[in-house]
A = this chain, B = another copy of it.
Amino acid sequence: MCAIAGIYGGQKAAELIFLAQHAQQHRATDSAGIATTDGAHLYNRAGSGIIQDVFGQADLDKLHGRAAISHLRYSTVDDDPTRDNTQPILMPFEGEEVAIAHNGNLTNVETLIEEFPEGVSLKTSMDTEIILRRFCLANGPTINDRIIQALQGVRGSYSLLMLFPDRLIAIRDSSGNRPLSLGQRDGAFCVASETCALEAIDANFIRDIKPGEILTISEAGLHSTQLPWATDSHQAMCIFEKIYYAHPASVVYQEDKGEEAVADFRFRLGQELEKIHPVPNADIVVGVPASAQFMALGYASSGRSGNFSPSIQRSHYIGRSFIQPNQAIRDTKVARKFGLIRRGRYGLEGKVVVVVDDSLVRGTTAKLLLSKIWACKPKEVHFRSACPPIRYHCRYGIDTKGNAELAAATMTNEQLRQMLEVDTLEFLPLEALHGLITTPKRYCFACMDGDYRICQQANTTITQRI
């Protein structure tokens, strides 16, 4: 899970992109980088941590020009510590440089590396570099030709931003697995993983970059073309963006659901969950912050299974548990990140409590949180996951290291119930989730159903290979 953003045409592009990325900080916190161009050269800076810690005013001042791209990175345990794994990556191109930022994950890295001509090696340990290097090796007459040439044979998910001195190019793979949206402010066009980043800089959301689209932004305005192999049947948009990753104010996947806000989708998830797995005697419905707030509102909306209750308050002085790189740190932070209301209307004490979570991945956070909930002496605790069981690890962008660490992959519902020490435990059924989507076949549910079809998709309509 990463965040990308770009702008073309504004004054102080680096400052605007900084604000846009701040609004996407929930997606990744390990490193942040910005590349800009003044029309002649590229400038770039990157470092570890959240964007506010990496960039001071002096850094932004050194990022000259009216166009910029940026990347927030969620590092993985596979990272080679001797390599400089920040993005954007820059590479020489036509006497100047090109920069790239990538949200997604390639699934045929070994094959792609073998395809490189003799002598080509990688400088980083990020698959992003593979894409950029294929682009630089390609030899079509136009930049778009080279992009198409570079991307054929590349499997997996990618939303890309490429910055040249005279243009910014946004690309979304034919599956559309990762979101990417287009906005406009004054004379500038903006692209970002989420629409909330557009709104943070007062840009209007225009539309999504379409699955398989190559959108070029330059002084000449917008120019759109398609990856030649892109067909509607390729579409496999990540459902988890809507469930967990995205900001509730964002619109994701306009393709399928129009401009439904993420908050509304989550409300409907909770509403449906209650229909299928109600808790008739419940007093209160508590959402695990921050993602499950709207699911809890939906669950409580019928009035039959308890009232909505913000009984779990999140500390404002600690990061998001899912995006910490190792288990040890996660545990310590979980212990400090929640403040629970024990007494009164919204108190847990003596109540029949429904705890709604967005999902159940490793189960670690849930277990620690439930022990804190029981310390408040509720009468009963019923756990509800607004997402079906996660049984398969994601190959397209999320850092789980195989199925074994997924709680629902190895335990029955009853085992999970006992592990979490709750009175009942239920998941939204996968069919119900399908029912909440206009066209389920446009989505990827691989983490729930194991259908990794993105890996198999043919994207080799052109014969010539680099």
Contact = CB atoms under 8 A, between A and B. Distances in A.
How many subunits of this chain does the assembly comprise?
A: 4
Interface stretch (A105-113, A307-315, A378-386): A307-315
A260 interface: yes
Interface string A33-75: 0000010110100000010100000100110100000000000
B336 A200 contact: yes
Given A316-B26, A346-B294, A340 B249 contact: yes
B95 A136 contact: yes
Interface of A is mostly: loop
Nearest to A289: B316
Given A261-B343, A341-B261, A61 B41 contact: no
A97 interface: yes
Given A199-B342, A261-B346, A64 B82 contact: yes
Interface stretch (A117-125, A405-413, A455-463): A117-125
Interface string A339-362: 111111111000000000000000
Contacts of A429: none
B92 A317 contact: no
Q: Determine which residue in A61, A92, A93, A96 has the highest number of CB atoms from chain B within 10 A of its CB, and name it.
A: A92
A325 interface: no
A12 interface: no
Interface stretch (A17-25, A417-425, A440-448): A17-25
Given A41-B123, A336-B19, A339-B196, A260 B316 contact: no
A260 B347 CA distance: 10
A453 interface: no
Contacts of A339: 23, 196, 199-200, 247, 249
A255 interface: no
A315 B29 CA distance: 13
What 9 A-B pairs have minimum CB-CB distances, sorted nearest first? A92-B92, A264-B344, A261-B344, A249-B341, A41-B123, A261-B343, A40-B121, A25-B317, A263-B346
22 contacts: A23-B315, A25-B316, A26-B316, A40-B121, A41-B123, A52-B317, A64-B82, A92-B94, A95-B136, A95-B137, A199-B339, A199-B340, A199-B342, A200-B336, A248-B313, A248-B346, A249-B340, A251-B343, A259-B343, A263-B310, A267-B346, A293-B310
Interface of A: 19, 22-23, 25-26, 29, 38, 40-41, 43, 50, 52, 58, 61-62, 64, 81-84, 91-97, 119-121, 123, 136-137, 196, 199-200, 202, 247-249, 251, 259-261, 263-264, 267, 290, 293-294, 297, 308, 310, 313-320, 335-336, 339-347, 375
